[in-house]
Amino acid sequence: MNPKFLIASFTGCSGCIGTLLALDILSEFFERVDVVYSPFLMDETEIQETDVALIEGCVSEDSQIETLKEIRKNAKKVIALGTCAAFGGILSLSTEKEAIPIAEYIDIDGFIPGCPPPSKLLGNNLIKLLEDKEIVLSQINMCANCPLRGEEELQYEEQINKLQPDFTAEPRTQCFLKEEILCLGPVVRDGCEHRCIESGIPCEGCMGPVTQDYTANIINFLSMLKLPRNLRQYDGIFFRFAKPKIKRRKK
């Protein structure tokens, strides 16, 4: 008997579901599971008992909490799919809407990070879920395998003075931090295949922290850098992909 899967979406851009539907292994996945609820794929409106529930998006409205709890009651496993469900996501930048990770309302059995999750990471872990195995995530930071790392260890001696590089410059060959550009790679989980780095963009943190609290990791990291006041007070560093346990400064 095929395992039953439920695929639900709360507040987000639907990029995680889009990535799932574009996977090379999608046909194999659907042959090996029974999808019992998915508003993207079927007209079924009743939440049913399921082996695995994949939930995309954060909670931003009270009405979503009841649905979330109903899914948890009917699912043997609940997996947060993507950065929004796992950490709050890009909506955390908003001062008008809440962006609450689903784990603040229910117990979850794991998460697959990324904005959206990299196809390889998502595909590999979907196979593990349908085989009733544990999700596997990297336990090292982005810098460990970064193509810009080089042989010289970072000393954090450079003055960091900007968030984005000059996109008209020659292709980058050395670490962003050494070029005085803020990159969160030292405190962010590896596993995204360095998509942003390869495109000339420093890591902004969508894979979440390797260990412990996201905000605490960033605060400790920033304390090691020579960071000007305007960047140290920039809310986007903390709120771009997570809902920190700190209050936003009053403007």
**From 64-68, 116-120, 177-181, the region with the lowest mean pLDDT:** 177-181
The CA distance from 57 to 83, in Å, is 8
Percentage of the chain exceeding pLDDT 70: 96
Instruction: Give residue 251's identity as a one-letter amino acid code.
Output: K
In the predicted model, what is the mean pLDDT of the chain? Answer: 90
The CA distance from 199 to 93, in Å, is 23
Q: Give the mean model confidence (pLDDT) for residues 215-238.
A: 86
Q: Count CB-CB contacts under 10 A for residue 136.
A: 12
Query: Is residue 155 over pLDDT 80?
Result: no
What does CATH list as the number for 4-130? 3.40.50.700
Locate the domains of the chain by residue range: 4-130, 138-251
Q: Give the mean model confidence (pLDDT) for residues 234-242.
A: 87
Rounded alpha-carbon distances, angstroms, from residue 109 to 55, 125, 155, 175: 11, 13, 38, 35
Q: Give the mean model confidence (pLDDT) for residues 64-90.
A: 97
Q: What is the pLDDT of residues 57-70, one digit of tens each?
A: 999 999 999 999 99
